[in-house]
Structure 1
Amino acid sequence: MRFKLLLVLLLLNTVLFAQRDRYIVSGPMIGHTELRSAKIWVEFKPEVRNIMVLYREKGTRTEKEVAFVYPGQNPYFNIAFYELNDLKPGTTYTYDLVSEDRQIIATGDVTTQSLWQWRNPAPDFSFITGSCAYFNEPPYDRPGRPYGGDSSIFQTMAKEKSAFMLWLGDNWYTREVDYYSEWGLHKRASRDRSMPVLQDLWKAMPHYAIWDDHDYGFNDGDMSYPFKKQSRDVFKSFWLNPSYGNSGDGVYSKFTWNDVDVFLLDDRSYRSNDDMADSVNGKPNAEKQMFGKEQITWLKNALLQSKTNANIRFRIIATGSQVLNPASPYDCFRRFPAEYND
């Protein structure tokens, strides 16, 4: 009997994988997850339309339906966002992506955050983080021995029982063929997102991200990058952060997980060129900035607001550049002394 059950499960999984490959380029990926809502990201193949999401509390049969949602932000690839609402805090839900002919093409679980405030101690949790995900594409890699190589670490990460994954920039690497092409910027993100070694990780936990130079544009990119707006559109299309900067500019944001506030800082949109003088007449050069006045003002206010919240005990500030390293001369916040001292 046990052998027959395993055989049935194996056949079901084989059929599900085959269905997925017919419809999906990458994903599903879990995005921003709150106490009563969660977001799901998927890139479908170009011809695919009208994929629904059915979701239910795990172990129950009562389902709710979410329609196919086009974000309207990607002119080149068939990307959809789904928002699961009216959820219960601290509860695991099973979701199915369902085709027009009612076939399940992918499935997964998502767990909402707990409502512990004023009721219980804050739940313990762990998260994983990383950056610099370089996937080789030989025609466009640098000659000689390129970056990249073994990416099996992502399979290990997918097996961790972590609350979320925090991507710290260079989450894909644009190449010379991408820098000045809107399509190229979108294509790089789409290609790298679709790597088979990543697919289990996307659905294993929620994902939050900030960028650095290589997923923003060219190496050491700054505020002068002529495709900064297009690059921001790519970021918004491929990540489901709670928000993206302010007034149509930047990608900085903030999210809360239990008793931790996480501040995501954009180190590229407002950045002065690294070779601008650090000091003028022996004083820090006020014109040289990494984060920019608007973002720094937002951060100061957001930290003060966080301080007034009695339920927040820890605060994490995340960005793509080195901040605390006093020795490295590369991408280091110390080279922006006016902001650093502020």
Structure 2
Amino acid sequence: MITRRTSLKLMSAAAGAAAMAPLGFAQAATPDAEITEKGVSRILFGSCANQDKPQPIWAPINALDPDLFIFLGDNIYGDTRDMAVLADKYKKFGEIDGFKTLKAKTPLIATWDDHDYGENDAGKEYPEKERSRELFLDFWNEPADSLRRRDNDGIYTSHMYGPEDQRVQVILLDLRWNRTELTHVTKEEFKRRDQMAFGPYLPTTRAGATMLGEKQWAWLEGELKKPARLRIIGSSLQFISTFPGWEAWSLFPNERQRMINLISDTKANGVLFISGDTHWAEISRQDDMHVPYPLYDFTSSGLTETWYNMSPNAYRLPGCMFTKANFGIIEIDWRVPNPHIVLQARDVDGKPVFEKSLLLDQLSPQGRL
């Protein structure tokens, strides 16, 4: 039997050009053959890890021995147009002991958000996105022929795990490469809004405004048509929350509705959103006539970062919020006919801080009956 560790060694030997990543970059494990074939039951995820801060949170993460860890962006705080500086920050993160332990034994997959993309709240206008993309993909050990190295487009990707009756699809979106520039309020207006934890941006419905871009939308439609029982959509920004005025899908209501329509039109049951960015953890749920079935968004942020003032969110589940360092867990019990899913956030000591349980068939129109 090929163990996870042995499989990773075999994949590392076959990585080819990806093994030539710059000295000190993380040789992160791509999902190995064992979990691709046998599936996943315990998925951990997180976001917002400042490489200049202590990161004790890796100890409880490693102790849980996850089948897979998903990085949802702000995996480092780069915030620069100098690629040498950005590379040094990746190197510093890659040398953190807890992270090195994780990547040595656990398959890792990742997308980016603004701070590892290169600039706070940046979108398609960021001038160094081509070079930043190469640093990102090198750090996460993407092969030289990876589809994520596509010309003039973002790093969106997907993975399938497990046999047909336990198949989990993980879709990682890119919310930076093609995203339209944001609409700002005035500085004076933001001072007033900030008192109620409202952000500096306004929603836009202008023609052509986009989060994903048309190529990514077409790709996503194809992905949602593929058979899977559970579909985890990794969005670096919150999808469900009403989140007034900060970066989130709520700033692009037409794009948000387009996602909901696409889930409905493709009959893609089992969708569960996970997100980062906010510097707090929460679970949001939309269950009304505007969605095909209850849609959940489990936010975990940050691995090091916290925030002083949670924003209002009409979709937040009571009791499902936490404002200190945290990581998220998705535990799936496949041993029962209607698989049981537990969504749990844990703190820096590995203690549970909130939890939500649901059954897989609740993520379908039939589950609403």
TM range, normalised to the smaller chain?
Answer: 0.5 to 0.7
Task: Tell me if the contact between 1:170 and 1:215 (Cα under 8 Å) persists in the aligned partners.
Answer: yes
Q: 1:256 to 1:217 in 2, by over 3 A?
A: same
Gaps of 5+ in 1: 1-33, 41-52, 56-63, 85-109, 117-122, 137-147
Amino acid corresponding to residue 302 of structure 1 in structure 2: E
Question: In the TM superposition, what is the alpha-carbon distance from 1:197 to its structure 2 partner?
Answer: 3.0
Correspondence for 1:262 among 170, 177, 183: 170
Query: Matched residue of 1:316: which SS?
Result: strand
Correspondence for 2:88 among 187, 191, 195: 187
- Rounded to whole Å, the distance in 1 between the matches of 2:181 and 2:247 is 11
Amino acid corresponding to residue 135 of structure 2 in structure 1: V
Q: What's the TM-score once normalised by structure 2's chain length?
A: 0.55
Corresponding residue number in structure 2 for 1:291: 212
- Rounded to whole Å, the distance in 2 between the matches of 1:315 and 1:339 is 19
Task: Tell me if the contact between 2:19 and 2:141 (Cα under 8 Å) persists in the aligned partners.
Answer: no
Correspondence for 1:134 among 29, 45, 50: 50
1:174-213 correspondence to structure 2 within 5 Å: 174-175=78-79, 179-213=80-114
Amino acid corresponding to residue 113 of structure 1 in structure 2: I
Q: How many residues were matched structurally?
A: 232
Question: In the TM superposition, what is the alpha-carbon distance from 1:273 to its structure 2 partner?
Answer: 1.4
Task: Tell me if the contact between 1:39 and 1:240 (Cα under 8 Å) persists in the aligned partners.
Answer: no
Q: Percent identity?
A: 25
Corresponding residue number in structure 2 for 1:43: none
- Rounded to whole Å, the distance in 1 between the matches of 2:56 and 2:175 is 28
Q: 1:318 to 1:39 in 2, by over 3 A?
A: farther
1:215 aligns with 2:98: no
Amino acid corresponding to residue 299 of structure 1 in structure 2: L
Deviations 1:152-196 (A, max 9, x none): 111110111211100000000014xxx121212211111111112
1:218-297 correspondence to structure 2 within 5 Å: 218-240=119-141, 243-244=147-148, 246-247=150-151, 249-258=153-162, 259-275=167-183, 278-279=203-204, 284-297=205-218
Corresponding residue number in structure 1 for 2:66: 162
- Rounded to whole Å, the distance in 2 between the matches of 1:171 and 1:233 is 15
Corresponding residue number in structure 1 for 2:229: 313
Compare 238-247 and 165-174 and name the one that shifted more.
Answer: 238-247
- Rounded to whole Å, the distance in 2 between the matches of 1:65 and 1:184 is 27
Structure with larger RCO (C-alpha < 8 A, sep 6+): 2
Question: In the TM superposition, what is the alpha-carbon distance from 1:249 to its structure 2 partner?
Answer: 2.2
Query: Matched residue of 1:294: which SS?
Result: helix
Amino acid corresponding to residue 140 of structure 2 in structure 1: W
Structure number with bigger Rg: 1
Question: In the TM superposition, what is the alpha-carbon distance from 1:319 to its structure 2 partner?
Answer: 1.4
Task: Tell me if the contact between 2:156 and 2:172 (Cα under 8 Å) persists in the aligned partners.
Answer: yes
Gaps of 5+ in 2: 185-201, 259-369
Q: What's the TM-score once normalised by structure 1's chain length?
A: 0.59
Question: In the TM superposition, what is the alpha-carbon distance from 1:39 to its structure 2 partner?
Answer: 7.8
Task: Tell me if the contact between 2:24 and 2:95 (Cα under 8 Å) persists in the aligned partners.
Answer: no
1:326 aligns with 2:242: yes
Amino acid corresponding to residue 157 of structure 2 in structure 1: S
Deviations 1:35-75 (A, max 9, x none): 999985xxxxxxxxxxxx6x6xxxxxxxx99489443875x
Question: In the TM superposition, what is the alpha-carbon distance from 1:207 to its structure 2 partner?
Answer: 0.2
Q: 1:225 to 1:156 in 2, by over 3 A?
A: same
Question: In the TM superposition, what is the alpha-carbon distance from 1:251 to its structure 2 partner?
Answer: 0.4
Task: Tell me if the contact between 2:174 and 2:235 (Cα under 8 Å) persists in the aligned partners.
Answer: yes
- Rounded to whole Å, the distance in 1 between the matches of 2:117 and 2:56 is 25
- Rounded to whole Å, the distance in 2 between the matches of 1:324 and 1:331 is 12
- Rounded to whole Å, the distance in 2 between the matches of 1:203 and 1:73 is 17
